[in-house]
Amino acid sequence: MKKLQLENRSYKELLIAFKDWLEILGYSGSAKESYPNCLKEFLYNMEQKGCLKLDAITVTTIKDYYGYLKERPNQRTDGALSKAALNQHQQALRKFNEYLKKHNGKPMPVHLRAEAKKEEGWQTVLTQEEIKELFEAAEHSYVMRHVCLRDKAMLVALYSCGLRVNEAVHLDRRDILFDRELVFVRKGKNYKERFVPINYRNLKILEDYLYDARLEFYKANESEAFFIGQQGKRLGRQSFGNRLGILVKLTGNSELQEKKVTPHTMRHSIATHLLEQGAPMESIQQFLGHSSLETTQIYTHLIEKV
């Protein structure tokens, strides 16, 4: 929906101001793109219905629009919007309301119930043997050695350090504290920073990538990003998922290939493995950067199903 063009001057200005606000607050790259895109589609829809002022938006207006979202085709895949996408649209409207409140504006009546997420993907956990197979696959994942070493470093970040993919994306070179055996997460969820311990073996993988392989990437020294792509730019979320998918295929393990493996699967897996090994719940909470112990306790249910 990026190609939609707003005509209403007031809506245009609001959209620009909203983008600037997200930028000032330091939101992640994905949020700075998705929230304005969702808001733009909403404002465009309001324009088409002749609703040209925010004050004219009612509860019914919002519900009708949400009904439209549930019916409209997905632009990337066949079928309708996923529940995650619908929740993203809801969150964008709520975030815009937050912006309005901060700027003495009247918030819109957004009274929508969040879509329940499917649990199947959430419950996917790899065995320790499958994790080992992924690391072995990274040894021959590409014809160029520096990409293989980056793949191994990626696995360390996602599994061994339990980072969310967005946290891994925003790692900078300076965030690997080799002398202290820590990884500094500066772009954690809800902007919470934390330090993640890392053992010597995994630290050596990061060191080999950073001081050897990374230098082989185009314009490597011009970027502070820890993970960079072939064009010398910060490696994005999609690239993490794509490389992980390639590693899964290279294992030749049919059972592993049948699982829905995403970067977040790696985080679920390390949390489950730590719990299986008897690590204290509070330590796992701190390791993952959970603000609530209740979130961490969900992994006890995963153990029962693995």
What residues contact 100, with CB distance under 8 A and at least 6 apart?
Answer: 54, 106, 107, 108
How wide is the angle at C-alpha 257 spanned by C-alphas 251 and 259, nearest 5°? 135
- Asked if residue 157 lies in contact with residue 147, where contact means CB atoms within 8 angstroms, the answer is no
The pLDDT of residue 257 is: 93
Q: Which pLDDT does position 119 carry in this prediction?
A: 46
pLDDT at 192 over 90: no
What's residue 123's pLDDT?
66
Mean residue pLDDT of the chain comes to 89
* pLDDT for the residue 264: 92
DSSP 86: H
Over residues 20-79, the pLDDT tens digits come to: 999 898 876 677 888 999 999 999 999 999 999 999 999 999 999 999 999 888 766 556
Q: How many CB atoms lie within 10 A of CB 153?
A: 26
pLDDT of residue 120: 44
Domain 128-305 matching CATH 1.10.443.10: the answer reads: yes
pTM here is 0.62
Q: Is the pLDDT of residue 306 over 50?
A: no
pLDDT of residue 116: 67
Please give the Cα distance from 300 to 296 (Å, whole number): 8
Domain ranges of the chain: 9-102, 128-305
**Predicted pLDDT of residue 27:** 74
Q: pLDDT by residue (tens digit) across 92-150?
A: 999 999 999 999 899 999 988 887 655 444 568 999 999 999 999 999 999 999 999 99
Assess whether pLDDT exceeds 90 at residue 19: yes
Question: Does position 303 have pLDDT exceeding 60, yes or no?
Answer: no
**Is 158 or 76 the better-scoring residue by pLDDT?**
158
CA 164-242-185 angle, 5° bins: 20
Question: Is it the case that residue 188 has pLDDT exceeding 70?
Answer: no
Helix H or strand E segment including 185: strand 182-185
Of how many residues is the chain composed? 306
Domain spanning 9-102: CATH 1.10.150: yes
Residues of the chain above pLDDT 70, percent = 90
On the question of pLDDT at 299 being above 70, the answer is: no
SS3 assignment, position 212? helix
Range of 100-104, 148-152, 230-234, 292-296 with top mean pLDDT: 148-152
Question: Are 246 and 138 a contacting pair, CB within 8 Å?
Answer: no
Cβ atoms of 38 and 93 within 8 Å: the answer is yes
Compute the C-alpha angle 255/146/181, nearest 5°. 85
What mean pLDDT is predicted for residues 255-264?
A: 92
**218 has pLDDT over 80:** yes
Known catalytic residues are 164, 189, 264, 267, 290, 299
